[in-house]
């Protein structure tokens, strides 16, 4: 069996396991019929969508399986940045000292999952909202904009998260 076939089977199996776990989590029913129905529905859905769920070009397991030590550090970093930016936004709104702009910049992350998590983290952080993610280009609405230069804006918005996500998903 060649490596492409093995990777396709692995992607199919991982998609099936994920879909079945979601089924069990949301159905909250341990009845035999419910579990069998969920398993076969997961098999059918995985057969139709595994190539979308886990793309072939991300053939490395590190592209979608995070390294737990760095994932925990990333969550801690997000917790800290969430609160610090919340206080900055409150202070700026009360003082009327906002400077909203749309900035565009690139990310160095290679994994689609890592890029998506970065875009969601930017949106989750108060004062910023990701408007578009296209390959490695991001468009972000930044409430407290200090520069419109692409590289400087990207460094101000994403530096810590991008660095930690780069270690979490290779």
Rounded to whole angstroms, how far apart are CA atoms 168 and 67? 5
Q: What is the pLDDT of residue 67?
A: 82
Which of 155, 106, 159 lies closest to 133, judged by CA? Answer: 106
| Alpha carbon 83 to chain centroid, angstroms | 20
Its pTM stands at 0.70
pLDDT digits (tens, 9 = 90+) for 29-86: 778 898 999 999 999 998 888 877 777 666 565 566 778 888 899 899 889 988 999 9
| Helix pair angle (150-168, 112-124), 10° resolution | 120
Q: pLDDT (tens digit, 9 = 90+) per residue, 3-26?
A: 778 878 888 888 899 899 989 989
Q: In what order do the strands lie in the sheet with 128-134?
A: 101-106, 137-142, 128-134
Report d(CA 46, CA 24) in Å as an integer: 16
């Amino acid at each position: 069996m060649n490596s492409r076939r093995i990777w396709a089977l692995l992607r199919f199996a991982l998609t099936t396991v994920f879909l079945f776990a979601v089924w069990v989590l949301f159905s909250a029913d341990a009845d035999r019929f419910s579990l069998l129905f969920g398993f076969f529905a997961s098999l059918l859905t995985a057969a139709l969508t595994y190539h979308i769920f886990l793309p072939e070009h991300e053939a490395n397991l590190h592209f979608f399986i995070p390294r737990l030590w760095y994932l925990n550090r990333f969550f801690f970093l997000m917790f800290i940045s969430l609160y610090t930016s919340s206080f900055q936004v409150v202070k700026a709104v009360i003082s009327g000292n906002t400077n909203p702009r749309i900035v565009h910049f690139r990310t160095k992350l290679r994994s689609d999952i890592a890029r998506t998590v970065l875009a969601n983290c930017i949106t989750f952080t108060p004062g910023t909202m990701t408007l578009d993610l296209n390959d490695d280009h991001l468009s972000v609405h930044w409430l407290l904009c200090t520069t419109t230069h692409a590289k400087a804006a990207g460094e101000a918005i994403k530096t810590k998260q991008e660095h930690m996500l780069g270690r979490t998903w290779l």
